Copies of this chain bind each other. A is one copy, B any other.
């Protein structure tokens, strides 16, 4: 049973930023190689889900961690407010159609979890529907793993309330960041505790485990994510197809 308030949002004590950044660089390069191997072999696929509060560094993680990956093998899908057409279907319809085919990697910036997060926090749905949707999510995530060799990574971008305030304020103070400013983010920030409760529910009820990624130090975030993915991919024994003699 995970309690988010008991998990640090910062890099573990004793780590040197400079040292970690060097290691991250190697990991990111290695991820590029492994990703190419996955693409060329066409046996596995990979789905990376990024969920977290506003300003928790999802965009930066995409930019930094995957920068050495083969573009042809990488898709990014950002989930915003559902369209009319999406709302006329079940909540998984808009995500299922973008799951990666064999060989491909897809990053979801936000995901189907929004349908039990923002929708729950605003009481657009009741707990009975939250529970049914959670069961549907578990079945869906099972499906893509057992039936399509999909490696599923779910990262909860764990930011502190204080750090979120700093990041949101920077968007007002720094003209180069103003384009990311959204008044609505400050309104959602007022519901912080409700969001934490909704996230804890999602994390604890998931059958596929989450990675809780501390993001207050952005250099540690990148290291954590790259390391998590590389370690899994290294364990797979992927091989480039070879000409049979």
Interface centre among A85, A90, A132, A144 (most CB of B within 10 A): A90
A139 sits at the interface (CB 8 A): yes
Residue on B with the closest CB to A97?
B97
Do A90 and B139 touch across chains, with their CB atoms under 8 A apart? no
* Nearest-neighbor residue (CB-CB) of A104 within chain B: B88
A147 touches B132 (CB 8 A): yes
Question: Does residue A148 face the partner (Cβ distance < 8 Å to B)?
Answer: yes
Measured CB to CB, the closest approach of chain B to A126, in angstroms, equals: 12
How many residues does chain A have at the interface if contact means C-beta atoms less than 8 Å apart? 27
- Least Cβ–Cβ distance between A45 and chain B, in angstroms: 8
A135: which B residues are within 8 A, CB to CB? 139, 142
In angstroms, Cα B98 to Cα A90, docked, is 12
**A136 close to B143 (CB less than 8 A):** yes
Q: Which of B85, B96, B103 contacts A92 (CB 8 A)?
A: B96
What separation, in Å, do the CA atoms of A85 and B140 have in the docked complex? Answer: 19
* A residues 97-111 in Cβ contact with B at 8 Å: 97, 99, 101-103
Whether the pair B92, A143 counts as a contact (CB closer than 8 A) is yes
Q: Which of B129, B140, B148 touches A89 (beta carbons < 8 Å)?
A: B148
Q: How far is the CA of A146 from the CA of B140 in the complex (A)?
A: 15
> B132 and A90: CB pair below 8 A?
no
CB distance from A88 to the nearest CB of B (A): 4
**CB neighbours of A103 from chain B (8 A):** 88
Interface status of A133 (Cβ within 8 A of chain B)? yes
Q: 4 closest A-B pairs (Cβ-Cβ)? A: A139-B139, A88-B101, A90-B147, A90-B148
Residues on A close to B: CB < 8 A?
A: 85, 88-93, 96-97, 99, 101-103, 129, 132-133, 135-136, 139-140, 142-144, 146-148, 150
